[in-house]
Each structure stands twice: as structure tokens, then as C-alpha cells.
Chain A
Amino acid sequence: QKEVEQNSGPLSVPEGAIASLNCTYSDRGSQSFFWYRQYSGKSPELIMFIYSNGDKEDGRFTAQLNKASQYVSLLIRDSQPSDSATYLCAVTTESGANSKLTFGKGITLSVRP
């Protein structure tokens, strides 16, 4: 069974700090990796996606993928109180129209002013 684990959390960091969110997955055939942000009572919002080993940067966000170790992480630099939310890691082993996502349980991040 495909599993996506997000075991750390909740996470609390001071404003301006770097928040590091980790995720591991069980299926070695996983191809695509996504980070979604979900505010309380709202639906998920796509933050980052990554397909290849290494780092991918977008503004204050950096996604890191290590397929050999089967983990993907999200770094948030210069954390802001508005970053306080639940971050969901999602993985798919398929492409195109069959891209079903398997979600982790999420990590709740709190950024203290």
C-alpha cells in the first residue's frame, strides 16, 4: 500500500526563521511530488511541485527531493505569520490523466510574531 508519512509536528517557529517540513514515501515508483498549503476551513492550495532529485526554489519556498532516500522536504525562508497553516505532502506514481494523489496527514506550522 502506498503511504506518505509526515510524522513531525506540529511545528512552531519564530517570524523570520526557516521552517523545515519533511515527508517520506513508501513507493519507489513515485514520480511526482507536491506540497499543498491548507488554511483552517479552506481547501488545499498548490505551493510547489518537484519531479527531479535536487532542489527547486520559488520565492521563499524550496522543495528538496531525494529519491534514493525516498523523502521530499519543503523549506520556508523568512517565515511569516501568514505561513501558519497545515502543509500537505502529496505523491503520485502515475502521469497524465491517471495522476491520483496520495496525501500525507499534514504538518501544522505556526509562525510566532
Chain B
Amino acid sequence: GAVVSQHPSRVICKSGTSVKIECRSLDFQATTMFWYRQFPKQSLMLMATSNEGSKATYEQGVEKDKFLINHASLTLSTLTVTSAHPEDSSFYICSALLGPWGGFGQPQHFGDGTRLSIL
């Protein structure tokens, strides 16, 4: 079953609206979560790394003031797209590291994604 829950699954809203997306780890504590964006026919692009209790680390070219990330607890990270415009329409996906692990890179487990459409 799913270990990462993402909500909502789909959002359609008007330009200028702010949209909040939630990512929850189920039955485990996720100190690190990741936020990705995927445009049609393209691969996943990492937007930011979300660490519980600290500021998110954004990838180059991602506006931190536009994509606000909050990781206030060990089971919840939120992404808020502020003042969304049509070019922000995309498939947003979160993931979490399922630990503990043996020292090598941990697999990431993905939420079901949120399809955001800005009119």
C-alpha cells in the first residue's frame, strides 16, 4: 500500500490564486521529503529538498518566494504555489525517504501527485 499520501490529487483554479499541496508520510517519520514537478512528456525535475525543522533547499532556478515549502512535522510537508499563473500548471509530486538505511542512497517513495491547472 501507499506509504506517502499527497492531497489534493487535482486542483483547477483561477490565475492569481495560491494553492497548498500536502504530503504526508504514513506510519513512518520522514525527516527529508522532496518536491518535484513534471511537465507533459518530460521527466521529473527536482524543485526542492524539504527537511523537518529547517528551511528547504531549493534547486537552481526555482523561486523560493513563489514555491513555499514548510516541513513542520516529521510526517507532513506542504508546498504552496503562491499567486499561481498558467505557466505553473504542471504535475507536482512529493517523495519521502523511507529509513533507516544501510549507508547507500535510500529509495524514494512517491505520493500520487497533484495535477495543478491554472486558468
Q: Which stretch from B12-20, B62-70, B78-86, B99-107 is at the chain A interface?
A: B99-107
**Across the interface, do A95 and B104 meet the contact criterion of CB distance under 8 Å?**
yes
- Chain B interfacial residues counted at CB < 8 A: 26
- Distance, CA A44 to CA B34, complexed state (A): 13
**Across the interface, do B43 and A97 meet the contact criterion of CB distance under 8 Å?**
no
- Distance, CA A26 to CA B106, complexed state (A): 20
**Across the interface, do A99 and B108 meet the contact criterion of CB distance under 8 Å?**
yes
Please tell me the size bucket of the interface on A.
Answer: 20 to 34
Q: Which stretch from A68-76, A77-85, A100-108 is at the chain B interface?
A: A100-108
Nearest 5 CB-CB pairs, A to B? A32-B105, A92-B105, A99-B105, A43-B113, A43-B110
Q: Give me 28 A-to-B residue pairs in the complex whose CB atoms sit less than 8 angstroms apart, sorted by A's number.
A: A32-B106, A34-B107, A34-B108, A36-B110, A41-B115, A43-B110, A45-B110, A46-B107, A51-B105, A92-B105, A94-B105, A96-B99, A96-B103, A96-B106, A97-B31, A97-B32, A97-B51, A97-B97, A97-B99, A99-B105, A99-B106, A100-B46, A100-B49, A101-B34, A101-B105, A103-B43, A105-B43, A106-B43
Where the two chains meet, the residues of A that have a C-beta atom closer than 8 Å to any C-beta of B are 31-32, 34, 36, 41-46, 49, 51, 88, 92-97, 99-101, 103-106
